[in-house]
Amino acid sequence: MSVTKQRDALQLLQTVGSFPWYVEKFIDHKKTKKSSPSTLLGYLRDIAFFFRWMMTEGLTTATDIKDVSLSDLNELKKETVESYILYLQESHLYERSALLTNPTRSAKKEYSDRTISRKISSLKSLFHYLAALAEDENGDAYLKRNVLAKIELDATELTPLARAHAIRAKILIDEEIYQFVDFVYNGYLAHCNTEKKRQYHLQNRDRDTAMIALILSGGFRVSEIVSLDLSDIVMEKNQLKMVRKGKKEDAPFFSDWGKEHLARYLALRDKYHPAPQETAVFLAVSPTKPHGHRIEIRSVQKLVKKYAKAFGIPDLSVHKLRHSFATQFLRLNPDPHQLQAQLGHSKIETTMQYAHVLEDALEKAVNRTT
């Protein structure tokens, strides 16, 4: 199990006990379906958000999430759930202050349709389990009525070409890949308007550049990069040993270009003053943890967004760096099966979405046909 999954699994054990017994049973059921700890934590966050909303709306007498009863869920009406959806659509106007203990700046941001669909989908999964899959000692369902079954999600299915068109504006192509990495190392200094920001960037730019270049040179997931230990790097073969989704052991490659940035960072890694037993490749420090420790996924996501916004592609995310590699790979190496192996996809259909991203290649192919 990767370091990230171990941490999520521990957090899951610490969190699930604060939920009603039937939610714990739902999580146990999902574990039998081999859902990852991070996926299960996502379910709990969405369920907790809904239960807090129920408490603020007087839909339960419970004053704690753990005390929300099955009868409370049984009495929900379709109109009530629709009111919750409306709340999700407008909650940014109130900074979600009623449901969040410590609202951050993101509380002012409007939820995307995708986020709302995910939150409702989590509830639909819970209610389906309680009404159709689980049973008490008498063989009866925990819920007599599943109000979420009456809620339809907007399931507009995009064609591969339409999905690819949406991706294209959010990824890096050709020279943009090298320009972005150079910007992270050199160009971002111009955006540091205080000496504190300048010093912070100079302290971390070798690390940040190495992480971003490594993803762009091999198409790795951010969780895979964060979980890397020093012993996982096979520098002479340009390979990384890792455990991928589905607990599959793998050893994908990275390019010589990515290797240069990684080697430069590794030569400077000790400036983070890690403890002798610290094995993580990519380190971070903080006021409360001054010795170098494994950087967190959220920190990598935030720093990529910071650089992307300054670079002029605000929709570029750490996952879109993986998309960028995959698209560029197929542009230069039209073999989706090789890309499938490199990305660790179990299905070729998942890999093939990148074949449609570059419309210029499709246009040329159409013209060659006649």
One domain for residues 320 and 352: yes
Given 99, 123, 148, the domain boundary residue is: 148
One domain for residues 319 and 206: yes
One domain for residues 58 and 177: no
Average pLDDT for residues 69-84, to the nearest whole number? 90
Residues in Cβ contact with 209 at an 8 Å cutoff, skipping those fewer than 6 apart: 181, 184, 185, 261, 264, 265
Do the domain assignments include residue 10? yes
Residue 24 confidence (pLDDT): 93
Measure the CA–CA gap between 260 and 27, rounded to whole angstroms: 44
Q: Which amino acid is at 185?
A: Y
Alpha-carbon Rg for the chain in angstroms: 23
DSSP conformational letter for 353: G
Q: Which residues pair with 248 in a beta bridge?
A: 244
Measure the CA–CA gap between 44 and 50, rounded to whole angstroms: 10
How many CA atoms are closer than 13 Å to the CA of 41, on its beta-carbon side?
A: 15
Token representation of residue 365: 């192919």
Each residue of 161-210: pLDDT tens digit?
A: 555 566 666 888 889 999 999 999 999 999 999 999 999 999 999 999 99
One domain for residues 263 and 307: yes
One domain for residues 249 and 182: yes
One domain for residues 13 and 45: yes
How many CA atoms are closer than 13 Å to the CA of 237, on its beta-carbon side?
A: 9
DSSP conformational letter for 162: H
Measure the CA–CA gap between 216 and 325, rounded to whole angstroms: 5
Confidence of residue 73 (pLDDT cuts 50, 70, 90): very high
Reported pTM: 0.63
pLDDT at 91 over 80: no
Q: Which amino acid is at 244?
A: R
Q: Which of 5, 22, 104, 19 is nearest to 67 (CA)?
A: 19
Token representation of residue 41: 């934590």
Residue 327 and residue 358 in contact, taking contact as beta carbons nearer than 8 Å:
yes
One domain for residues 241 and 125: no
Q: Check the CA dihedral 242-244-250-251 and report its sign.
A: negative
Measure the CA–CA gap between 110 and 113, rounded to whole angstroms: 9
Highest mean pLDDT: which range of 24-28, 142-146, 166-170: 24-28
Do the domain assignments include residue 330? yes
Residues in Cβ contact with 128 at an 8 Å cutoff, skipping those fewer than 6 apart: 146, 148, 149
341 exposure class (CB count in 10 Å sphere: 0-12, 13-18, 19+): middle
Q: Which of 63, 76, 13 is nearest to 27 (CA)?
A: 13
Each residue of 288-337: pLDDT tens digit?
A: 888 999 999 889 999 999 999 999 998 888 888 998 998 889 888 888 88
Residue 123 and residue 47 in contact, taking contact as beta carbons nearer than 8 Å:
yes
- Whole-number mean pLDDT of the chain? 85
Residue 341 confidence (pLDDT): 87
Do the domain assignments include residue 55? yes
User: How far from the centroid of its chain's Cα atoms is residue 275's Cα?
Assistant: 29
Question: Could you give the number of structural domains in the chain?
Answer: 2
| Residue 210 belongs to domain spanning | 163-367
Do the domain assignments include residue 158? no
One domain for residues 167 and 144: no
Measure the CA–CA gap between 103 and 86, rounded to whole angstroms: 20
SS3 293: strand
The residue whose two tokens read 């916004």 is 309
> CATH code at 254?
1.10.443.10
Do the domain assignments include residue 44? yes
How many CA atoms are closer than 13 Å to the CA of 148, on its beta-carbon side?
A: 22
One domain for residues 142 and 191: no
One domain for residues 36 and 77: yes
Given 119, 148, 177, the domain boundary residue is: 148
One domain for residues 235 and 361: yes
Do the domain assignments include residue 157? no
One domain for residues 20 and 77: yes
Measure the CA–CA gap between 52 and 211, rounded to whole angstroms: 38
Given 121, 148, 175, the domain boundary residue is: 148
Do the domain assignments include residue 1? yes
Active site residues: 221, 245, 319, 322, 345, 354
Hey, what's the torsion of the CAs at 269, 272, 273, 276, to 10 degrees? Answer: -50
Which contiguous run of DSSP H or E holds residue 214? helix 195-218
SS3 343: helix
Do the domain assignments include residue 353? yes
Measure the CA–CA gap between 205 and 121, rounded to whole angstroms: 39
